[in-house]
Amino acid sequence: MRRFSPWATVALAAVLCLTRPAIADTVRVAVASNFLATLLTVGSGFTAATGHVVEPVAGSSGKLYAQIHEAAPFDVFLSADADRPARLIAEGLADGGSRFTYAFGRLALWSHAAASSGHDCWQVLRDGHGKIAIANPTIAPYGAAAKAVLVGQGLWLQVTDRIVQGNDLAQAYQFVATENAEIGFVGLSQVRAVAAATGCLAEVPAGLHPPIRQDAVLLRTAANPDAAKAFLAYLKSRAGRAVIAADGYDTE
């Protein structure tokens, strides 16, 4: 094996250092998995605007909360709910003044089965016999919202036997995408990119469930509080909100 010359290594390191913006800081963002793709888009706009870099750490809100609780080195927390950021503030681990709702989650009713093609999704939901995928209502805010829709429409008792629960939105999506479930409640942001060649797709009106507030907070342990604050400001800005809205979320 050929070895790299030490001088080449030093030169490469020097070039890498010099090409980075002088004041670039890294903002480490703990992000709920469902928002990761959108964060990456927002992050590249943020980098273009400020030179700072976003480093996402994706996971379920519950796991990220537990990690923050144990002093994980994150600067910002983008939760999939409002409850966990509120808890962190109450526990003195996050800055109360920094909290805001960066996105309101939206549900979509989606079927990938050929048999659903040309049908109204709500009709498939009501009259079908296959499984209905939702995210676990006890742990996932989108799952709780899906349950609220079913309860509100008077369908819950009728369809209980057909419900299968994914651990999170991504799994509810998998169940529908692989047609193991006939239909399911997924995130609107997940199916925005899907070309509905077969099956059906319907946006669930936001009024049918309590709002899915996804809150952001600045963490007390932030290593780069200034860059982190700049990121939160960018998330709240017109440019940030435009990206978020285009990906299938509502914004304030």
Partner 1 sequence: MTADLTLADLDPLWLSVRLAAVTVTALLIVGTPLAWWLASTRSRLKSPIEALVALPIVLPPTVIGFYLLVLMGPNGPLGPVATALIGRPLTFTFSGLVLASMIYSLPFVVQPIQAALEQAGGRALEAAATLRAGPVDGFFNVAVPMATRGFVTAIVLGFAHTMGEFGIVLMVGGNIPGETRVISIALYENVEMLDYDRAHGLSAILLGFSFVALLIVYLINRRWLRI
Q: Does 180 participate in binding partner 1 (rule CB under 8 A)?
A: yes
Q: Does 171 participate in binding partner 1 (rule CB under 8 A)?
A: yes
Q: Does 211 participate in binding partner 1 (rule CB under 8 A)?
A: no
The distance of closest approach from Cβ of residue 157 to partner 1 in the complex, given in angstroms and rounded to an integer, is 16
- Distance from chain centroid for Cα 64: 13
Stretch that binds partner 1, among 37-45, 74-82, 164-172, 230-238 (CB under 8 A): 164-172
Closest CA to 145 of 34, 41, 31, 37: 34
**The 183-187 sheet, strands edge to edge:** 163-166, 132-135, 183-187, 107-111, 200-203
Helices (H), the chain: 6-19, 36-50, 61-69, 83-90, 121-127, 141-152, 156-159, 169-177, 188-191, 225-236, 238-246
Q: Does 41 participate in binding partner 1 (rule CB under 8 A)?
A: no
The distance of closest approach from Cβ of residue 130 to partner 1 in the complex, given in angstroms and rounded to an integer, is 8
Q: Which residues of 128-147 are buried (b: 16+ CB within 10 A; e: fewer)?
A: bebbbbbbbbeebbbbbbbb
Give the C-alpha separation, 129 to 65, whole Å. 38
Q: Does 77 participate in binding partner 1 (rule CB under 8 A)?
A: no
Q: Does 178 participate in binding partner 1 (rule CB under 8 A)?
A: yes
Q: Does 71 participate in binding partner 1 (rule CB under 8 A)?
A: no
Joined tokens for residue 168: 């999170």
Residues in the chain: 252
DSSP type of residue 250: B
The distance of closest approach from Cβ of residue 210 to partner 1 in the complex, given in angstroms and rounded to an integer, is 18
Stretch that binds partner 1, among 8-16, 61-69, 119-127, 206-214 (CB under 8 A): 61-69
Q: Does 166 participate in binding partner 1 (rule CB under 8 A)?
A: yes
Q: Does 66 participate in binding partner 1 (rule CB under 8 A)?
A: yes
Q: Which of 62, 67, 245, 250 binds partner 1 (CB under 8 A)?
A: 62
The distance of closest approach from Cβ of residue 115 to partner 1 in the complex, given in angstroms and rounded to an integer, is 10
> Quick one: 98 or 136, whose CB is closer to partner 1?
136
